[in-house]
């Protein structure tokens, strides 16, 4: 059981890392989106285990696919929420007087 949850976490971290590289939000901490994707992966894997009735296992391919789907959903929701609060203006140069 522990190895399955660890596999879900690894999938979530990888998907979260890729999502931070694809979606460039200025001023956003990438650790937050990676963490949200990891939580989404755990939620996706848990939902799959509840729906299918299968036990949690590290080598369950469909469990890992559902964990990846949960991570993608988590990362998308996080980036949609964060993009509303981050300025999309161009970079301004600070000048000393």
The CA-CA-CA angle for residues 55, 56, 62, to 5°, reads 95
Residue pointed to by tokens 């609060």? 85
Other CB atoms closer than 10 Å to residue 61's CB: what's the count? 8
Dig out the tokens for 75 from the structure: 């990362």
Percentage of residues in the chain having pLDDT higher than 90: 0
Mean pLDDT, to the nearest integer, of 47-52?
87
What is residue 43's predicted lDDT score, i.e. its pLDDT?
Answer: 87
What is residue 24's predicted lDDT score, i.e. its pLDDT?
Answer: 61
pLDDT band at 28 (very low <50, low <70, confident <90, very high): low
pLDDT band at 61 (very low <50, low <70, confident <90, very high): confident
In angstroms, the CA 64 to CA 7 distance is 7
What is residue 93's predicted lDDT score, i.e. its pLDDT?
Answer: 62
Q: Are 63 and 4 in contact (CB under 8 A)?
A: yes
């Amino acid at each position: 059981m522990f190895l399955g949850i660890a596999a879900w976490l690894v999938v979530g971290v990888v998907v979260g890392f890729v999502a931070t590289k694809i979606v460039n939000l200025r001023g956003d901490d990438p650790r937050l989106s990676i963490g949200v994707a990891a939580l989404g992966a755990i939620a996706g894997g848990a939902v799959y285990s509840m729906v299918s009735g299968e036990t949690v296992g590290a080598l369950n391919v469909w469990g890992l696919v559902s964990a990846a789907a949960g991570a993608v959903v988590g990362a998308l929701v996080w980036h949609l929420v964060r993009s509303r609060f981050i300025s999309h203006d161009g970079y301004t140069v600070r000048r000393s007087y």
